[in-house]
Amino acid sequence: MAASGEQGRRRRYTRRPAGPVAPTPQRLALLRYLAQLGIASLPQLAALACPSEKSARRSLRTLFDGGLVEVVPVPRVALAESIDASDVSLLYGSAPNLFVLTRAGAALVEELGWEGEVRRKPGYGPRNTLFLAHELAVRDVFVFFIRCSRRYAGHRLEQWLDGPEGHIRLKVGEGPAAVRPDARLLYRLPEKVLVGLVEVDRGTERGLTRWKEKLAGYDALIRSGSLPAVTGYRGPRVLVVAPDARRRDGLAALIRAHAAPDIASCFWIAERSVLQEPELTGAHWRQPNQAALLPLVPIEIAGSPPTGWKGETDER
């Protein structure tokens, strides 16, 4: 039995001989999202470009056998939530498939007229796989806003920049040299634009030092008045995703205690489970100075989603 299992795992990362890959709309959508994100999981790619995980798995297997995508092998523990990290069962088996473009895949995307810059294959290996859980959590925020843009009429994720591309340099003398959100976005509503600076908190950092540094950076950024030159808009929201409600409320208390009221009011904090459904108008977000949970966008601004919406993607 053990030998059979080993053989099965080897096949997972072994290409089968295949001819040229037919560029169906669904396969092209998968390649383009990988070009934009650099790395993504099977569930994320299914939510972005396919009607189901089964459909995504078939298409990605075809792309893998055709040499257009690569599977990133990581242990289950690398993607575990911090509360589960001591579970000995995580020592066995692999995590859900993670995908990146190969050079051939990147070349095809560029040849087909991809307008953005293709994110090159990340340098993930045995020494830094523990960063993957955070990277994928950031991409969960991207998936959430893409799905929201499909659910509500007149909505669009207009800009998404993560990693160093989303960092904002400050002028000398304004405090920290730069503010480094995990991502920043512009989300267009029918009559307004949401400017979001994304912070994904996995609850792994102990103490206050790191969050005090973040608060000092956002204070300097907002008070400098330089954000409109970077984003084109005023009034940013710092969108913080926490692992659970306890951490959400703890961060709200920390921000309330260590940030001026006008800076604290820029922070909107939600637990990660909120990202599972593309819902902007539910009362799921905590502002540090407010007792009740609030919707990220009031229904009178977001509009109502169409009746009978089931979450299907328009990319097949």
Question: Alpha carbon 244 to chain centroid distance?
Answer: 17
Q: How confident is the model at residue 15 (pLDDT cuts 50, 70, 90)?
A: confident
Indicate the SS3 state at residue 45.
helix
154-187 pLDDT tens trace: 999 999 999 999 999 887 666 678 899 999 999 9
Map out the domains of the chain as residue ranges. 2-122, 132-302
Q: At what angle do helices 103-111 and 25-37 cross, to 10 degrees?
A: 110
* Mean pLDDT on 144-153: 96
Q: What is the CATH class of 2-122?
A: mainly alpha
42-89 pLDDT tens trace: 999 999 999 999 999 999 999 999 999 999 877 666 666 655 555 544
Q: How far apart are CA 137 and CA 155, in angstroms?
A: 23
Q: Which residues pair with 69 in a beta bridge?
A: 101
* Mean pLDDT on 88-112: 78
Q: How far apart are CA 235 and CA 56, in angstroms?
A: 38
Return the pLDDT at 3: 42
158 or 12, which is more confident: 158
Q: Which amino acid is at 208?
A: L
pLDDT exceeds 70 at position 126: no
